[in-house]
Amino acid sequence: MMSSFPLLSPFLRRTTPWTCRACLRKQAAPLPPQRFTFATKAPTRPIPKNRRRRRIVVASGLGITAAVVTVTDDAKHAATAVQRSSRVASTLFVCIKDYRSTLKRGQDEDYQDQLKACHLRCAKRTLVTLEKNGSIFIKLGQHLSSLNYLLPSEWCDTFIPLQDKCPVSSFESIQEMVLKDTGHELSDYFESFEEQPIGAASLAQVHRAVTKDGQKVAVKVQHPALDEWSKLDLALTRFTFESLRYWFPEYDLTWLSEEMEVSLPQELDFALEGQNAIRARKYFAHVRDAPVIIPDVIWAKRRILVMEYVSGHRPDDLEYLDSHKIDRDEVSAALARIFNEMIFGTNAPLHCDPHGGNIAIRHNPSRPGKANFDVIMYDHGLYRDIPLPLRRSYAKLWLAVLDADEPRMRKYAYEVAGIGDEYFALFASAITGRDYTIVKQNVAAPRTKQEKDTISDSLTEGMLEQLIQLLGQVPRVLLLILKTNDLTRSLDENLHTRQGPARTFLILAQYASRTVYEEQLEAIAGSFLWPSNLFAFLHAWSTYMRVELRLSAYEKYLQLRALLGMEALI
């Protein structure tokens, strides 16, 4: 059809997401060798009148058909767009109305119960819309369900099913997408390609395959339907949060949609993900302490990423760890080293989505040193660089937190995020994930259930508005550091280590003090004679050394305890 109506074809291609495969192949494949010669030109004979009329009729019939198909496709697209938008708008309207009428009943005795019921009703309505619209709304819902420090539990709990709701795109649609994006069939690249994905998430799915030269690979392919709706869906998300801000200015969550507008296009560009993975791989090749494996990138396009296949088990698969005699405390320490390296390392890239599905543990008895395992890292779609001054202030803030030194904490909270006295306690809690009374005493103490309850109770007593405003004003990259902290904390808690968080805090102190020490080294270069510089340098050096000694003494003590078989007694 396209070759008959060349003027229509660009339009058809633009508006028809599922272009037929034969047409696509024609579009992309090189022209076959010309076998005819121009010398044997056929004699031109006049075309009889009725045949000419027939040709005109057939041509216009095909033209009309093409136009109808096009218009139908356009109309279908527009109708679906209207449907998606109206689902969002109507849910938003009903929820805003519901909240406004519930909030007016603040004086009622059972107001808290009414509010909880309203949260639940609205969360359920929203869930239906997210599920029906699918696409990036699933991703948004998954993200919201993890914001349990920010959203009422009725919202987070209602959205939990979205964590496992990952669409699976059909194998045919993947074949079409590969052909469309590369001009080649899957069979041109791969000897074999498993039709069933080994992993599916909101944006992509991963298939196992074998390349023509026999290498086992993992092929990450984007869900083809995302391309059609991601721009509209982002606009709808922005509209939703802006409407919420208009009606409830104290719950301004627009920073969430703003962050999504920056992150999502990056996460949807697998060529960028390939570059991130290569960069992280190079970075960790020189880090001695961290047993990290980042699968090699073989080639990458915007919606297709072909990587070396490296498999492992989720870090919370305790049965796998225990049956392979992988020490959970060592896994916890390795994860702490990896993520502190990403936050504090010079020019280190920060992986901003380190959840349990993006990390795997693989038994590796041949690895030198204490660890008999590798930590595999997947999904390099969202990386950030932390600016050097922020990294340094953040290191000082953590050292102050670990020393429970409040004046210094206040000073560096201001330096890191412009946080004044008003929000200071809340900010310290957000950074550490601990109740502020604990931060003031010993942040490294294990978290009790009572403490978790205290945090959620205090949020319902009006701190929520403060927290929302606070998160709206801190630098964006800090939000991602907080998210990374949160995820690594929960990874660590799920490991159920023997010693609790003491060692991971010592590791954090090691990286933070190294960062401060490096800054002092830089400061004294060329001006060693200034007594203040010299003093600051000696102070940073002694702090760093003290932490190093404490950490290595603690690790030796753990080794000794393991040797003596004292674990069973704990």
Ligand X SMILES: Nc1ncnc2c1ncn2[C@@H]1O[C@H](COP(=O)(O)OP(=O)(O)OP(=O)(O)O)[C@@H](O)[C@H]1O
Long-range contact list for 455-461, CB < 8 A, 24+ apart?
455/149, 455/429, 456/148, 456/153, 459/149
CA atoms within 13 A on the CB side of 389: 5
Q: Which is nearer to ligand X, 190 or 427 (CB)?
A: 190
Question: Whose structure tokens read 């004699």?
Answer: 43
Report d(CA 419, CA 359) in Å as an integer: 33
Cβ atoms < 10 Å from Cβ of 521 = 12
- Please name the residues in contact with 291: beta carbons below 8 A apart, sequence gap of 6 or more: 334, 364, 367, 369, 371, 373, 374, 375
What does the buried/exposed string (b/e) look like for 455-465 if buried means 16 or more CB atoms within 10 Å of the residue's CB? Answer: beebbeeebbe
In a 3-state reduction of DSSP, which class is residue 384? strand
With beta carbons less than 8 A apart as the criterion, state whether 398 and 508 touch. Answer: yes
| Cβ 140 to ligand X shortest distance, Å | 12
Q: Who's near 509: CB < 8 A, 6+ residues apart? A: 398, 399, 402, 547, 550, 551
CB of 430 to ligand X, least distance (A): 23
CB of 175 to ligand X, least distance (A): 19
Specify the DSSP element, H or E, that contains 220.
strand 216-222
- Residue with the CB atom nearest ligand X in the bound state: 199
Rounded Cα distance between 427 and 441, Å, is 16
**Nearer to ligand X by C-beta: 224 or 501?**
224
Burial group, residue 248, by CB count within 10 angstroms (0-12, 13-18, 19+): middle
437 close to 222: Cβ distance less than 8 angstroms: no
Tokens of 551: 């950490």
Short-list 286, 349, 356, 290, CA closest to 320 = 356
* Minimum CB distance to ligand X, residue 284 (Å): 15
3-state helix, strand, coil in the chain (%, to 5): 65, 10, 30
CB of 138 to ligand X, least distance (A): 10
Tokens matching residue 349: 């890239």
* Nearest distance from C-beta of residue 303 to ligand X, angstroms: 12
From the candidates 269, 327, 329, 353, give the one annotated as an active-site residue: 353
> Least separation, in Å, of the C-beta of 301 and ligand X?
15
Q: Provide the minimum distance between the beta carbon of 204 and ligand X in the complex, in angstroms, as a whole number.
A: 4
Minimum CB distance to ligand X, residue 197 (Å): 8
Our CB check for ligand X shows the closer of 167 and 472 to be 167
Instruction: Based on the residue annotation, tell me whether 353 is a catalytic residue of this protein.
Output: yes
Cα(362)–Cα(373) distance, integer angstroms? 5
The tokens describing 347, both together, are 């020019």
Angle, CA of 250, 252 and 256, to the nearest 5°: 155
Query: Residue 150 or 268: which CB sits closer to ligand X?
Result: 268
Residue closer to ligand X, measured from CB, 220 or 503:
220
CB within 8 A of 89, min separation 6: which ones? 239
Host H or E run for residue 412:
helix 406-417
Residue placing its CB nearer to ligand X in the complex, 201 or 321: 201
First to last CA, the chain: 75
Task: Give 300: exposed, middle or buried? Use CB within 10 Å, 0-12, 13-18, 19+.
Answer: buried
Q: How far is the CB of 222 from ligand X (least distance, A)?
A: 8
Q: Which lies closer to ligand X via its Cβ, residue 357 or residue 500?
A: 357
Residues that bind ligand X (CB under 6 A): 198-199, 201-204, 206, 218, 220, 295, 307, 309-311, 353, 357-358, 378-379, 381
Grouping H, G, I as helix, E, B as strand and the rest as coil, residue 308 is strand
Q: Give the residue with the Cβ less far from ligand X, 109 or 164.
A: 164
Query: Could you give the CA distance from residue 41 to residue 22 in angstroms, rounded to a whole number?
Result: 30
Residue (226 or 512) nearer to ligand X, CB:
226
Q: Which is nearer to ligand X, 429 or 485 (CB)?
A: 485
Smallest gap, in angstroms, from Cβ of residue 424 to ligand X? 34
Q: Which residues of 200-231 are buried (b: 16+ CB within 10 A; e: fewer)?
A: bbbbbbbbbbebeeeeebbbbbbbbbbbebbe
Minimum CB distance to ligand X smaller for 349 or for 501: 349
Q: Which residues are catalytic?
A: 353
